[in-house]
Amino acid sequence: MTGDAVIKVEDLHTGFGDHLVHDGLNLEVRKGEVLGVVGGSGTGKSVLLHCIIGLKKPWSGCIEVLGQRVLDLEPPERSALEARWGVLFQDGALFSSLTVAQNIQVPLKEHLNLNQRLMDEIAMIKIGLVGLPPEAGRLYPAELSGGMRKRAGLARALALDPEILFLDEPTSGLDPIGAARFDALIGRLRKTLDFTVFMVTHDLDSLNAICDRIAVLADKRVVVIGDMQQMLNERHPWVLEYFHGPRARSAGLLKPGR
Amino acid sequence: MAEESTSTTTAHQTQRNPAWVKFNNGGMIELGGCWTISEAERLDKELMVIHDGASTKFIFNLSGLERLDTAGAWLIHRTRKSLESGGAEVILEGMKPEYGILLDEVAANDQSPPPLPHANQLLEWVAHTGEMTLDALARARDFLGFFGLVILTLSRSVSHPARLRIVPMIHHMEKVGLNALPIVGLISFLIGVVIAYQGASQMKQFGAEVFVVNLIAVSILREIGILLAAIVIAGRSASAFTAQIGAMKVNEEIDAMRTLGLDPIEVLVLPRLLALVLAMPLLAFFADMIGLLGGGLMTWIVLDIRPDQFIERLSDAVSLWSFWIGIIKAPFFAVIIALVGCYEGFQVGGSAESVGHMTSRSVVESIFLVIVADAIFSIFFQLAGV
């Protein structure tokens, strides 16, 4: 395996009550790649994301992000590490009492000491980067459409120019055109801002469009990880059904007649 | 071994060189180090030094840059733009290609926020007041409409008693009535104690201690028992009704009901309304008795009026009407609380935030309306001479 691992998950066990979600899960995310995590409902994709960013404590195992063990960090070190990643939650998770521009400034205020003018300017740049019109900065989350909320959430995740971007189902709830635009946006931003992406998704189109590698969660662990060609050659029953089903066909993954 | 390699990368990453900027003669400006957002505040101040008058040609040498992020790129872009607008020529050199992409991206998104529309404060205040007034009137009309709809549905249900939902009604009676007994009892008891104690200390000055019993009996039976019960229920149950119905609204359960041919008023409002109308007089009676108990206990302790004397005095002091006046009000208050609670639940809009907003509104409105109704009742009973 080449390339530095920015996220390393080793022998992870998590669960709720007496229900085991991950049983000895291992995963490595390389620097600069876009990793798509797929799996059936309830296989623990979001739980894995929550473990890595520290919202859920696993039962046992080791998680390293950017060379630091997230589970053993003291609060100040944690906060410093959190400034180096950005998270986009499913529906944006914008603070509803703040405008979009203020939402973007929350991490700036929390981690840095910048003057208000500079923060306003940086917020405007981020708003432009994610493809929102300048007027959107003054709007409240309730006044935005679903697609705009995701973009605003992405702008907030990008506020500190993170090294890793976590995306939780970024295209769910968007129409196909909006989803394709969002995929293109992530691809373009990655070229400019040079970050690593960890993306939980169901969307075969975005897996095909922007992911360098795909990790499949099934049977409580990562059963296979690799590029799209490897997925198509894999014989695991779930992978077979997922990447060879009718939806995969319509996403253009398979050549007709195959 | 993996341990070691990760610790060295961490050390490497923390050893970043701080950003620097050097101004040389003839408009030569050298930039270096990591131009990232954590250095932006300092760089912002240092770049202020550059004036467009200093030279007609500026050369930015970026060859020393180790890292550049959006904030750093913005600072470079902003400085260049302000120099160019002053008529100077600006050249960037020694730049890595990836910085070029970032600078172009930032330049493409250089957008100043659109100016706020100019507002006349006084005009805005007047407009706001007008809006609020119209809004309040519209809601009052809406509430009246809801009231009518409930009455209509109720009369339809009464003519087909099979349509009345008895089991949910019993369930709500338990929730709003039985489960409220401890808190209603405790509050009534304490208020009874307080009235007896305060009354005693005042009445003593006139040597009229025995009239404390009259004070307790009249105030608790006529007003305080039912009012306390109503306020507690408004806080407990109006909020619960709003939150329950509101959550169903957010979840589109109300729409689902309609498409399945169920009438939300019949299914959700009537059981709650009837349960509260039946439970409220019982709660009021309970509050009366516990309030008298608290008052009686306190008069015994402070004034040494024994329980048998207290009861004897009680029957002299108040007629049965005083008791009935309190109980008669109970179903009216119940209707107010249930209707406001359910109405505000149906007013919840799409978001979870609006459930919270409507819940607090329903509590405030139901308590307000209960007290208004109580004032009207007391005028009415005064005129009726009871």
Question: Is B138 a domain residue?
Answer: no
Nearest partner of B283 among B223, B332, B322, B228, judged by Cα: B228
Q: How far apart are CA B291 and CA A63, in angstroms?
A: 61
The kind and range of the H/E element at B48 are: none
Greatest mean pLDDT among B14-23, B179-188, B313-322: B179-188
For A128, the closest of B41, B44, B109 (CB atoms) is B109
Question: Is B6 a domain residue?
Answer: no
B287, B368: one domain: yes
Q: How many domains does chain B have?
A: 2
- What pLDDT was estimated at residue A43? 85
Q: Which residue has the higher pLDDT, A254 or A150?
A: A150
Question: Is B333 a domain residue?
Answer: yes
The 3-state DSSP class for residue B294 equals helix
- What pLDDT was estimated at residue B264? 92
- How far B332 CA lies from chain A's nearest CA (Å)? 38
What's the rounded mean pLDDT across residues B350-362?
A: 87
Residue B379 banded pLDDT, cuts 50, 70, 90: very high
- How far B47 CA lies from chain A's nearest CA (Å)? 13
B237-257 per-position pLDDT tens digit = 999 999 999 999 988 899 998
Burial class (CB in 10 A: 0-12, 13-18, 19+), A218: middle
Average pLDDT, chain B: 87
- What pLDDT was estimated at residue B51? 67
The 3-state DSSP class for residue B139 equals helix
Of B69, B90, B108, the domain-final residue? B108
Q: Which residue has the higher pLDDT, B157 or A255?
A: B157
B278-336 per-position pLDDT tens digit = 999 999 999 999 999 999 999 999 888 899 989 998 888 888 888 999 999 999 999 99
- DSSP line for chain A: --S-EEEEEEEEEEEETTEEEEEEEEEEEETT-EEEEEE-TTSSHHHHHHHHTTSS--SEEEEEETTEEGGG--HHHHHHHHTTEEEE-TT----TTS-HHHHHHHHHHHH----HHHHHHHHHHHHHHTT--GGGGGS-GGGS-HHHHHHHHHHHHTTT--SEEEEESTTTTS-HHHHHHHHHHHHHHHHHH--EEEEE---HHHHHHH-SEEEEEETTEEEEEE-HHHHHH---HHHHHHHHSHHHHHTT-S-TT-
- What pLDDT was estimated at residue B54? 65
A111-124 per-position pLDDT tens digit = 888 888 888 888 99
Which of A161, A165, A189 would you mutate first to test chain B, the one with the most B CBs within 10 A?
A161
Residue B81, domain CATH: 3.30.750.24
What's the rounded mean pLDDT across residues B27-49?
A: 83
CA B192 from centroid of its chain's CA atoms? 32
Nearest partner of B57 among B76, B80, B32, B31, judged by Cα: B80
B81, B175: one domain: no
Residue B138 banded pLDDT, cuts 50, 70, 90: very high
Q: How far apart are CA B17 and CA B113, in angstroms?
A: 34
Nearest partner of A226 among A240, A215, A238, A211, judged by Cα: A215
What's the rounded mean pLDDT across residues A127-134?
A: 88
- What pLDDT was estimated at residue B297? 94
Q: What is the ipTM of this complex?
A: 0.80
For chain A, give the percent of residues with pLDDT over 90. 12
A150-176 per-position pLDDT tens digit = 889 999 998 888 889 999 988 887 888
Q: Chain A partners of B44 at a C-beta cutoff of 8 Å?
A: 114-115, 118
Residue A147 banded pLDDT, cuts 50, 70, 90: confident
A100 touches A132 (CB < 8 A): yes
B36 vs A135: CB contact, 8 Å cut-off? no
Residues 58-97 of B with CB under 8 A from A: 69-71, 74, 78
Residue B6 banded pLDDT, cuts 50, 70, 90: very low
B111 vs A124: CB contact, 8 Å cut-off? yes
Question: Is B257 a domain residue?
Answer: yes
B212-230 per-position pLDDT tens digit = 999 999 999 999 999 999 9
Burial B292-326 (b: 16+ CB within 10 A, else e): bbbbbbbbeebbebeeebbeebbeebbeeebbebb
Nearest partner of A87 among A38, A63, A54, judged by Cα: A54
A122 vs B44: CB contact, 8 Å cut-off? no
Residue B2 banded pLDDT, cuts 50, 70, 90: very low
B165, B104: one domain: no
- Measured between CB atoms, does B359 come within 8 Å of chain A? no
B19 touches B44 (CB < 8 A): no
B258, B332: one domain: yes
The kind and range of the H/E element at B386 are: none
Question: Is B229 a domain residue?
Answer: yes
Class assignment of domain A1-84+162-174+182-253? alpha beta
Question: Is B310 a domain residue?
Answer: yes
- Measured between CB atoms, does A29 come within 8 Å of chain B? no
How big, in percent rounded to 5, are the helix, strand and coil portions of chain B? 80, 10, 15
A61-95 per-position pLDDT tens digit = 888 888 888 888 888 888 888 888 999 988 888 88
What's the number of CA atoms in the CB half-sphere (13 Å) around residue B31? 27
Q: How far apart are CA A162 and CA A153, in angstroms?
A: 14
Average pLDDT, chain A: 86
Q: How far apart are CA A130 and CA A154, in angstroms?
A: 7
pLDDT at B50 over 70: yes
- What pLDDT was estimated at residue B53? 64
A187-204 per-position pLDDT tens digit = 888 887 888 999 998 888
Burial class (CB in 10 A: 0-12, 13-18, 19+), A221: middle
The region, left, alpha or beta by phi > 0 then psi within -120 to 50, assigned to residue A67 is left
For residue B368, the enclosing domain spans: 161-384
B111 vs A134: CB contact, 8 Å cut-off? yes
What's the rounded mean pLDDT across residues B199-211?
A: 87
Domain range summary for chain A, segments of one domain joined by +: 1-84+162-174+182-253, 94-161
Q: How far apart are CA B76 and CA B103, in angstroms?
A: 8
- Measured between CB atoms, does A101 come within 8 Å of chain B? yes
B121-136 per-position pLDDT tens digit = 889 899 999 999 999 9
What's the rounded mean pLDDT across residues A195-223?
A: 87
Residue A3 banded pLDDT, cuts 50, 70, 90: low
